[in-house]
Amino acid sequence: MAVNSKGGWIQDRILGSGGFGQVVLWKHEDNDQYIAIKTCRVQNEMTEKHKQRWKLEVDIMKRLDHTNVIAARDVPPPLEVTENELPLLAMEYCSGGDLRKVLNLPESACGLKEYEIRNLVKDISSAIEYLHGKRIIHRDLKPENVVLTQSEDNKTVYKLIDLGYAKELDQSSVCTSFVGTLQYLAPELFASQKYTCTVDYWSFGTVVFECITGYRPFLPQVPPVTWHREVCQKSPEDICAYYDSDGVVKFSKKITSPTHLCRSMQAYFEQWLRIMLRWDPRQRGGGLGEDRKPQCFKFLDTMLDMKIVNILNVSTNQLLSYPLMEQLSMQDLQRTIEQETKIKVADQDILFASGAPPEPNQGASQCWNVPGEEDWVVFLFKKGDQNDPKIKFKSIPPRVQQIVKEPSTLLPYPEQKKAWAEAVWFCNEQVIDFKRLILSQRAAMLSLLRTNSSFLKLKAKMVNECDQLLAKLQYFKESLQFDLNTYADQRATGGIVSDDLFKKWKNVGEEMEMIKTQREQVNRVDQLATALTTKIVELQRSPFARAKQNETLEEMEKKSRELYQDLRQAGRGNREQYKDHKPMVQVVVKCVMSRDKSLSDLYTHLNKICGCKHELFKILPDIQKCCKDISEASDKLLKEQRSRQEDIWNLVRRAQIQASGDVARQDSRSSSNPGSDHASMLLSICGESTAPESIRVCEDNKEQVRRMGIMLDDVLREQDEYTSMMDWSFLPPLDNT
């Protein structure tokens, strides 16, 4: 096949074709630059009005500059056309394709994920508001005119394209031309009535409804004339219409089919859609606010900025969602949870995926995270044993129940397609639910391990302090016994005595013997803690501790998507082989059986984790009490040891006083011996049972007595020598008679 090349630009492929135009992707062979160029395929067959519309689109596109509106580019000179031809429209290339391509994916059969819807609505509403601010009505909003591209931070960006039907408002802001795609047209456009920019509100609301549910809101398979006749009867608040089993048209103010939205966000979107899908164009959009901004965009901004926390009530497998108002505290959030779940605030065990609990003194916003492709979920457990969890399995949608009960009953293709789409949604929800529960058990296990770590440290502290206490007690007993023995010995030799003191020491020794019973209590608690630790180790070895998914559920979800895709791609002539629902029913039944078995096993494992945590908190007070008792016993032991030392020091002081008195009364030669005896007596009283300071004081006292004796001997000797040298002749002779 010949390659179309012009001046270094190579034609890559055709991106799309419309009524008159065709968009071709070109790639530069040197720098891999891409550019999309819209050309007119049938300009020779176009009326002057159509040519003017073509030129208007090119002119409008060149004047626009917004992130969410496709950007016009300069046409490369080698690709430019002659002046006689209709101008080309060069545009940036968006590699993600259009929104219709995304909606046609099997996983989008019942709508897009919440994160995708939020981004889409935010981007396209910004583009519409920008166009209306430029006094431009798009008039042809539909999934085919929304394209996707990736930003530098790898985020999907949605852009509006194809302004071929766009019209600049005149001064009266009213138009009358009939344009656009019928399935997304506002009623006044369909009826060729005068219209304003609110026609874009209807089309935008219709596109958003389809992105949420997978189908258009009002009788999507009905011919235009019948559609207009039936839907015009809706009330201002109705946002969808469908045929019931009797063929009667029913309207609803709520979304009646399965979606991927959390309940809070779905309620907000339902409220917003009631504004956007009003039949009366004067009421549509809610009018203008005081700042001249349309109320529908103001409400949308508030809605998309709302912080919503998702909490999985693990015991019932129910996902709760709550909007977070400003300054909402954790206590306020917990009281709200209590009102719905009947779980008292004191019994709520709220955990993050990390296993850590929220800070009670911080706001409830800590339970919220910036929306992402993966849902941010906080897990709610009920404290205590989880012996009888009331699991709420996600119910099978009514259409799926119908084909399960009657798998051979033929259905019209639109009904069959919707039933199979809901089967895909159901299988996907089982996979999501199981993954959430796996994350919940992981959070519970991490919380248990986190608590067990502190628990083991406290237990080790208890055992260590108990060992130290018993060692102190042994030293106390040995030193006390030595003091008692030494006291008895010096009493027998006539030393200082005190019967009251002796009796007191013996009583204290008997009291301290009671400390030994602390070891029995510690051993009992230690055995319980060791047994619990063994259980926790076994839980860590469980297959659920490493599980990330259920392979059977994943396989059934994949199979359901394949069946749905085959049904859609079969074409009208080849759908006979898919009229039998048995293949899809088999997938659904196997999915349910696998879910029931897996969740039963998973909840058994969860019960064991919660049971261990409950048991841990039952043992924890015993450990804390043991630590407290050990600390008090240690303090008492130290107090008695100090008291006995004070008693010994009192005896030391008495001995010192007595020794000093004896030294003053005795002569120089005999004074040293009693002092030495008193020092010996003091040493015998103090003995080895006293502290090193006591022994040192006794030795110092003994040394002082010895030195005092030597000093007295020297004084007496010098006095004798001095006396012998004196002249005593003046004294009268002694009378010996």
Distance CA 206, CA 216 (A): 6
Last residue of a domain, one of 329, 361, 383: 383
Could you tell me if 251 and 269 lie in one domain?
A: yes
Could you tell me if 312 and 292 lie in one domain?
A: no
The pLDDT of residue 392 is: 72
Mean pLDDT over residues 235-249, rounded?
89
Q: What is the CATH number of the domain that holds 234?
A: 1.10.510.10
Full domain range(s) for residue 325: 308-383
Do the domain assignments include residue 523?
no
CA-based nearest residue to 111, from 262, 327, 236, 251: 262
HEC profile for 347-367? Answer: HEEEECCCCCCCCCCCEHHHH
For residues 169 and 138, the answer to whether their CB atoms sit within 8 Å is no
Phi first, then psi: give them for residue 379, nearest 5 degrees. -110, 135
Mean pLDDT over residues 456-468, rounded?
89
pLDDT, tens only, 248-304: 999 999 998 899 999 999 999 999 999 999 999 999 998 887 888 889 999 999 999
Q: What is the CATH number of the domain that holds 350?
A: 3.10.20.90
Distance CA 560, CA 537 (A): 39
Could you tell me if 77 and 145 lie in one domain?
A: no
| pLDDT tier, 53 (very low <50, low <70, confident <90, very high otherwise) | confident
Do the domain assignments include residue 319?
yes
The pLDDT of residue 735 is: 52
CA-based nearest residue to 542, from 600, 593, 597, 602: 602
Last residue of a domain, one of 247, 272, 305: 305
Distance CA 412, CA 549 (A): 36
Q: Which is catalytic among the residues 123, 140, 162, 375?
A: 140
| pLDDT tier, 672 (very low <50, low <70, confident <90, very high otherwise) | very low
pLDDT, tens only, 628-646: 999 998 898 888 888 888 8
Do the domain assignments include residue 561?
no
Q: What is the CATH number of the domain that holds 57?
A: 3.30.200.20
Amino acid at 128: I
> From the CB of residue 234, how many other CB atoms can be counted at a distance below 10 Å?
20
Do the domain assignments include residue 416?
no
pLDDT, tens only, 492-551: 777 667 777 778 888 888 888 888 888 888 899 889 888 888 888 888 887 777 766 688
Do the domain assignments include residue 59?
yes
Long-range contacts of 250-255 (CB under 8 A, 24+ apart): 255/209, 255/212, 255/213
Could you tell me if 218 and 279 lie in one domain?
A: yes
HEC profile for 706-732? Answer: HHHHHHHHHHHHHHHHHHHHCCCCCCC
The pLDDT of residue 682 is: 44
- Evaluate if residue 674 carries a pLDDT over 60: no
Phi first, then psi: give them for residue 312, nearest 5 degrees. -90, 115
Tokens of 71: 């950007």
Give the number of C-alpha atoms closer than 13 A to the C-alpha of residue 482, restricted to the C-beta side.
14
The pLDDT of residue 114 is: 92
Q: Which helix (H) or strand (E) holds 23?
A: strand 21-28
pLDDT, tens only, 470-488: 888 888 888 888 888 887 8
Residue 69 pairs in a beta bridge with 160
- Please state the domain count of the chain: 3
- 8-12, 469-473, 546-550, 647-651: lowest mean pLDDT where? 546-550
pTM of this structure: 0.78
> From the CB of residue 348, how many other CB atoms can be counted at a distance below 10 Å?
20
Could you tell me if 116 and 180 lie in one domain?
A: yes
Q: Nearest 5°: CA angle at 178, between 176 and 184?
A: 120
Distance CA 226, CA 190 (A): 12
Give the number of C-alpha atoms closer than 13 A to the C-alpha of residue 492, restricted to the C-beta side.
5
Last residue of a domain, one of 75, 91, 107: 91
Could you tell me if 167 and 278 lie in one domain?
A: yes
- Cα of 35 vs its chain's centroid, Å: 43
The pLDDT of residue 389 is: 59
Distance CA 520, CA 704 (A): 51
The pLDDT of residue 714 is: 58
Could you tell me if 68 and 120 lie in one domain?
A: no
Mean pLDDT over residues 546-566, rounded?
86
User: Would the CA dihedral through 609, 610, 611, 613 be positive or negative?
Assistant: positive
| pLDDT tier, 387 (very low <50, low <70, confident <90, very high otherwise) | low
Amino acid at 313: N
Do the domain assignments include residue 16?
yes
| pLDDT tier, 139 (very low <50, low <70, confident <90, very high otherwise) | confident
Could you tell me if 112 and 247 lie in one domain?
A: yes
Could you tell me if 229 and 322 lie in one domain?
A: no
The pLDDT of residue 721 is: 58
- Evaluate if residue 669 carries a pLDDT over 60: no
Could you tell me if 46 and 120 lie in one domain?
A: no
pLDDT, tens only, 181-226: 578 888 888 777 888 889 999 999 999 999 999 999 998 888 888 8
Mean pLDDT over residues 125-136, rounded?
92
* Beta strand spans in 352-412 (E): 377-382
- Evaluate if residue 728 carries a pLDDT over 50: no
For residues 7 and 79, the answer to whether their CB atoms sit within 8 Å is yes
Could you tell me if 82 and 106 lie in one domain?
A: no
Do the domain assignments include residue 113?
yes
- Evaluate if residue 587 carries a pLDDT over 90: yes
Do the domain assignments include residue 511?
no
Tokens of 690: 């006293």
**Residue 140 a catalytic site member:** yes
DSSP class per residue in 511-560: HHGGGGHHHHHHHHHHHHHHHHHHHHHHHHTSGGGT----HHHHHHHHHH
| pLDDT tier, 578 (very low <50, low <70, confident <90, very high otherwise) | low
Could you tell me if 30 and 143 lie in one domain?
A: no
